[in-house]
Amino acid sequence: MTKDRSCTTAVLPGDVRGLSGTRPNQNEVVQETLSIIPRSFLAEDVLLNGSDAKLAKIGFLALAAKWYWDTEMLDSKFTAEALSLIKSIESTLAVSGELVSAGLVTTEESASSALGRFRKANVDAVIACCFMWSEDQPLLRVLEELKETPLLLWSWTPGPQLPENLTALDLIRWSGPVAVLPCRPCLYLPSVFESGIVVGMEGDLLGTVAQLVLSRLSGQPTMFTEIFTYDETKNEILVGHAGMRDIRLARSRSAVTITPDYEYPREEAGVWMAFSVRPGPVTLLSIASTTDGIHFVVTKGEALPSEGRLQGYPNALVKLDTPLRSFFKVTTGVGTTQHWALAPGDLRKRVPQLASILGLQCTVLAGDQEA
């Protein structure tokens, strides 16, 4: 077999209907997984629907954030349950082929060790499974050292539909790859927000500029968010972010809760704020830096009543006007990040007007398709 001499990256759906909870026939799970893997991942003689199907040799690693792993999120069952989950995923993927597993990877060093093992085994491709909240650094090390070996990035989730209520630990389990920079404590500063200053996170300059754009166009407070997770059955996304957030977005000040810092539970990091964005129409804006220049992507949705839905984070549960599949297809095509600026109101006409004045590209997601 001749390998595809390009570094291929693909993303699997979060749930392949069966890697947790009630599980269907394992062969069905594997066949569905294989049906999504690019053809370059498979040996030339693979038969997806045959009992004698032969898989290429696949390297596998499970990514998780080190500090969550070290602290166990103050849950004595956390480590055992996570390791059991990894074993379940490994056994499911190995049903019909040869799997070279490096197990859990939480650091750049363990990522390099895993890749050394894969090179020694001469794997044909690598699956990196973000089975919970995971950091960028190990994944970047994987990308650097893989060179021409195809990579499939799998953002796994515990099920096809979000629970009605999520704890802080649930959020970690339902999340994927993110970048983290400690910046604590996280409280409201009137002198900052009420003077029109916006606060971004994680060194994301374009995400912060997107906030500034919405702030100036609307005269409203804005929120720096990332897409935590989604519910395709209801066409909803759950967005939010730890950090200094503007509580004027909440229904009222009495709806804002001061909580312990759930991301650093064993450090003297202090406290942060938890609240939900008040119900009503909201605009989401992402600014992407592409090979063709700066590109605005804007969409609208409805912030739903969601107080108590998510523990410990400023957040918004948004029902998008655009179908989720169209949303993800367009945004991944443009190359947006996970970060989106949010502001109350419908700004889908004003954002492209600004983009036109600035000579920038702008994609407006409206209804079933982009405008």
pLDDT of 318-361, one tens digit each? 999 999 999 999 999 999 989 999 999 999 999 999 999 999 99
**167: three-class secondary structure by DSSP:** coil
Distance CA 60, CA 264 (A): 29
**Conformation bin of residue 359: beta by default, left when phi > 0, alpha when psi is -120 to 50:** left
Task: Look at the block and give the residue holding tokens 């100036």.
Answer: 216
Mean pLDDT (whole number) for 267-296? 87
Q: Determine whether 139 is exposed, middle or buried from the number of CB atoms within 10 Å of its CB (0-12, 13-18, 19+).
A: buried
* Residue 24, pLDDT score: 35
Residue 90 DSSP class: H
* 304 within 8 A of 319, measured Cβ to Cβ: yes
Q: Count CB neighbours of 325 within 10 A.
A: 10
* Residue 334, pLDDT score: 92
Distance CA 194, CA 190 (A): 5
Query: Which of 47-61, 62-76, 86-100, 120-134 is most confident?
Result: 120-134
Distance CA 116, CA 98 (A): 17
* Residue 184, pLDDT score: 62
pLDDT of 182-241, one tens digit each? 456 677 777 778 888 888 887 788 999 999 999 999 999 999 999 998 999 999 999 998
Query: Partners of 286 in the beta sheet?
Result: 297
* Residue 265, pLDDT score: 63
Domains of the chain: 9-155 (3.40.50), 181-370 (3.20.14.10)
Kindly report the average pLDDT of the chain as a whole number.
Answer: 78
Mean pLDDT is lowest, of 53-57, 117-121, 298-302, 310-314, for: 53-57
Judge whether residue 307 has pLDDT over 60.
yes
H-helix or E-strand containing 172?
A: helix 168-173
* Residue 49, pLDDT score: 42
**101: three-class secondary structure by DSSP:** strand
pLDDT of 9-40, one tens digit each? 333 333 332 333 333 333 444 344 444 444 44
- Structure tokens of 92? 């499911």
For residue 269, report the phi and psi dihedrals to the nearest 5 degrees. -90, -10
CA atoms within 13 A on the CB side of 321: 19
* 126 within 8 A of 86, measured Cβ to Cβ: no
- Structure tokens of 197? 């200053």
Distance CA 211, CA 343 (A): 8
Q: Tell me the DSSP string of 236-287.
A: EEEEE-SS---GGGBS-GGG-EEEE-SSSTTSS--EEEE-BBPSEEEEEEEE
Judge whether residue 51 has pLDDT over 60.
no
* Residue 233, pLDDT score: 92
Q: Count CB neighbours of 119 within 10 A.
A: 14
Query: Regarding predicted confidence, which is higher, 1 or 190?
Result: 190
Map 323-348 to HEC letters: CHHHHHHHHHHHCCCCEEEEEECCCC
For residue 301, report the phi and psi dihedrals to the nearest 5 degrees. -155, -170
Distance CA 73, CA 79 (A): 9
* 341 within 8 A of 206, measured Cβ to Cβ: no
Cα–chain center distance at 270? 26
Judge whether residue 255 has pLDDT over 90.
no
- Structure tokens of 243? 């950090």
Q: Determine whether 205 is exposed, middle or buried from the number of CB atoms within 10 Å of its CB (0-12, 13-18, 19+).
A: exposed
